[in-house]
Chains A and B, each alone.
Chain A
Amino acid sequence: MTEVSTKQDPGAAVTAAPGPRPRRRRPMLTYLAKRLVITVGLLLGVTVLTFGLVQVVPGDPVTANLSDQALNDPAAVAAFRAKWGLDQPVHLQYLHYLGNLLTGDLGISQQTGRSVAEDLLQYVPATMELAIPTMLLALLLGTGIGMLAAVRNGRLTDQVIRVGALLGLSTPPFWLSLVVLYLFFFQLGLSPSGGRLSPGFTPPDTVTGMYTVDAALAGQWDLAWDAAQHLVLPVLVLTCLTVAILVRFVRSSMLEVLQQDYIKAAYAKGLPTGLVLRRHLLRAGLVPVITVSGLAFASLLSGTVLVENIFGWPGLGQYAYRSASALDLPAILGASLFVALVYTLVNLTVDLLYGLIDPRIRIQ
């Protein structure tokens, strides 16, 4: 990342020498423009790679989509190939896709028969409805618990937290999903078993695609409440896994900062512990944590196949999985492009946040 530089001496005065009026520079705009160009190139690369990978994967969309008997009927096979453009040479298929992509057309999914854009508009909000509360909870808990572990370094609290984090990281998501389902639904009867709504309810009119939000916007509070209940268990599972990641990074980062002279100086000056932790430790220790949080958030937005599957959550993960299973190329490409875009945007946001959190880091 050459565009971002670190000033090690934020207190140094900068004096401008007299001379001709300097050219007006807009480093942020230049930076964003460069990132945009890189993003376009990246997305193009994703289409090439995905298209290529689907071609080399052993498997034929025809055999994945037609019945056994239909495969014995040359007319049915030919009709399928013609309908989905599979009778064209691969390079023409790709160029055709690219041409459509430039007009915003992501193609039609072989699985759903709908446009991929329409599918994404339906499944992405469902995943976002899981990802946003998960990330908020995980940031809150991960930061707090990680800081506690750092401050109590080497003591019993720290040991317990470290073991807990390790357990969280080692626990397979599908297993944890089944356990919480067994506990909260089957044994305690406290939660619904899965899905986004109870069978008796009809989804709210789409505004954001997130049922809790849309129901609240429409004033359908019983519906919003039901949707919120269905969120709890998958969010709980995803939060546990994300917190485990964050705790380790927060602890490690905070431990490093705690060794800095300015922290010792702050305590030596008699500043209250809370103030030291909030103003000096937290801010300085968060920079590396932001990177991990960004990646974790991007990962959540990209869909969590196993958790979505067990909780019957119709999100992007399930969509991508189903598409891959059926070699549904337009849908695979659409999902891949979306995931690439998410990672690019999240990384950009993380880079910009560096500057906000740490004044030593500025775009030159």
Chain B
Amino acid sequence: MSVNPRRLRVAALALAAVSTASVTACTAGSGGGGAAGPTDTLTVNTSFVLKTLDPGRVYEATGVTTTHALYDTLLTFKGSDVSKPVPELAESYEASPDAKTFTFKLREGVKFSDGTPLTADDVVFSLNRLKNVKASPAVMVTDLTASKTDDRTVVVTSAKANPNVPVVLAMSATGVVNSKVAKANGATDGADAASADTAQQFFDKTSAGSGPYVLKSYDPSSQVVLEANPNYWGGKPKFNRVVLRNMDVQTQKLTMSRSTAAEVSLDISGKLLDGLPDSLQTSGVQDTVYYLILNADPAVSKVTSDAKFRQALRSAIDYQGVAALFGKGAGPGAGLVAPAFPGTLTGEESKRDVAQAKQLLTDAGLSNPTVKFTYPAITYRGVDLGTVATKVQGDAAEAGITLELNPQPLTTFLDQMRGGKMPMGFTPQSLNYPVADSLVNNMAPGAGSALRAGWTVERAAPSVVAAGEKVVSTLDPAQRAEAMKDWQREMNAHGPYIVIANNSGMNVATSDLTGVEYTPAGWQLDLAAIGTR
């Protein structure tokens, strides 16, 4: 064929050239970084876990970070110190000796972002709405009832003795909303709020709080924009505008590596911290525990329900090696309370003893036991849980235990775990609020999570039950922390959980910023506290 393709080739090359040129032309002027625009903008990059900004329903991490800046709470935590809440809307409070009645005196002169004064009615409405909407955060206030004695005094009563009420009232979900505005947009604090309250869509478009920022725009898959509240009663935040951007964690790392000013990332942790420029600052606290769950119900697994097997597996694990997989900011497991919180088992990290593991198996009469090991096939805080599971599998094999790895999608894993039929599982855990007592309510024998592991009171050692009861009945915070330590030691000796590692949440920020401390309080970063050097 006498086809001369010269022109065609030229045309094809020209097309390719045009395409490449368009890429270059389109990008040449950007100057990189993508942080064009006003200089008083703070950019926060995070992989969104966000469903709503309604304080009565907020539970997911990004939502909590955001609502903390939109809504004030009676009390709060400053910086990374979560040992004791400090006043915010309440200038002072008193607790009754039986830890059932808490009286809060409201600060004078506080206004919502629309200029309306904040009163005790708004506080009572917000707390009762949170309770009655019955969304995920409602469990924190199930036993609480709020009422007012005058416009500046709120009384919160607890059905049970609970010295942690002030801590609960520092959480973002207890943020105070403008009750008149909220009611006008479908909110209710009535007993039927779970079905009658229709204000979520309103709160996802508009904020009605007294916090340092107001909501400018909300897109749960792209970005949330906040602007400084002109009527804020406290000090004006440094940045007039905050943009929270949804960003994949790998992209966050690349972005921060090039960023020079006013930018923070919330998800770069563990191994991902390797290779970041020295100019960036990091702040983190070990606030997450990773633990194995071994079902105590013989009907589910004769192997995992054997206490000696559980101790054998506990002895087989190389805790230092597991912690190394998590990278910077991680440590070997000790107890169920992470190092960030009062009551943690400092200096009592678990240790490996393969010979002891083998002896325990022999004592139990178990030869080459095999267990199906289920875990969520996800990467959490920069760590692939499959890698950790494989390490545990290898450690167990050295003691003669065969673990059959069974990775599952997260929802399937959660469903199986909560169904109580999983012989062995693996999951990370963070606290809903920065007091570890909730673990006792959830993981002690016969409690919700424990029952899903087949751990009834009847199957538990009496000493574990007694240790848990002691925690709940101790009202003094310092003594309660000590009781928590005893409870964890008992849990380690008899319980169905094996804590294998602790890991840190981490904020990575440009060097020009101040106040970017990581807080284990739940909101990770106090946006209004961020300043510049």
Contact = CB atoms under 8 A, between A and B. Distances in A.
Nearest to B413: A59
B51 A191 contact: no
Nearest to A76: B134
B235 interface: no
A212 to B, nearest CB: 11
Q: Which of B246, B251, B255 has the most CB of A within 10 A?
A: B251
* 6 A-B pairs closest in CB distance: A200-B37, A192-B34, A72-B448, A189-B32, A314-B222, A79-B194
A119 to B, nearest CB: 9
Q: Which of B30, B38, B43 has the most CB of A within 10 A?
A: B30
A363 to B, nearest CB: 34
Contact of B139 (A72, A157, A192, A327): A72
A50 interface: no
B415 A63 contact: yes
A68 B27 contact: no
A64 B5 contact: no
Contacts of A319: 221
Contacts of A181: 251, 254
7 contacts: A79-B135, A144-B8, A201-B36, A229-B27, A231-B26, A258-B3, A314-B246
Interface in A63-105: 63-73, 75-76, 79-80, 82-83
Contacts of B133: 79
Interface in A184-220: 184-186, 188-196, 198-203
Contacts of B200: 113
A75 B23 contact: no
B35 A123 contact: no
Prevailing SS type, chain A contact patch: helix
A186 B462 CA distance: 59
Interface of B: 1-5, 7-9, 11-12, 15-16, 19, 22-24, 26-38, 41, 43, 51-52, 54, 59, 133-139, 142, 194-195, 200-201, 204, 216-217, 219-223, 225, 241, 243, 245-248, 250-251, 254-255, 257-258, 409-412, 414-416, 418, 432, 438, 442, 447-449
B34 A83 contact: no
A264 B221 contact: no
Interface of A: 57-60, 63-73, 75-76, 79-80, 82-83, 111-114, 122-123, 126, 137, 140-141, 144-145, 147-148, 151-152, 157, 178, 181-182, 184-186, 188-196, 198-203, 225-226, 228-232, 236, 239, 258, 264, 267, 273-274, 276-277, 309-312, 314, 318-319, 322, 325-327
Nearest to A153: B1
Contacts of A63: 411, 414-415, 418
Contact of A68 (B30, B217, B449): B449
Contact of B37 (A79, A145, A201): A201
Contacts of A145: 12, 15-16
Contacts of A228: 26
Nearest to B246: A312
